[in-house]
Amino acid sequence: MDKPFDIKKRCFAFSLMLIDFIKATGYEKIYFSFFDQVIRSGTSIGANVVEGSGGSSKKDLINFYHIASKSANETKYWLCLIRERVTCDRDRINVVINEADEISKIIASSIIKMKQVESVN
């Protein structure tokens, strides 16, 4: 599957990937908080990117991208914790972790570029 170039679409596709992974993973009640946290942080990445895009200023956009970046890093943390403690499809979770990492890098790169453009203006 080709990955969308548009970061908003890619984050949306990631949210769907994450939801499908969680849905397919049977887990014990003790691990509920891991999955609750990962779904919150993972889906908030795209929500913050979209919200920032509708912001009133470049500073707003940058702030929401910072939040999205933090959510992406938090998501990677929870996914790695799940990988280490919950019986799940290792190949599938590694794909999800890799996509979270790629999105995190794209967002970080976008922040750097936006700040450079902002400092020139």
Q: Which domains does the chain have, with CATH numbers?
A: 7-120 (1.20.1440.60)
Angle between helix 32-53 and helix 7-24 axes, rounded to 10 deg = 170
The residue whose two tokens read 């999955």 is 35
The pTM of the full predicted model, rounded to 2 decimals, is 0.89
pLDDT per residue over 17-40, tens digit each? 999 999 999 889 999 999 999 999
pLDDT per residue over 70-119, tens digit each? 999 999 999 999 999 999 999 999 999 999 999 999 999 999 999 988 77
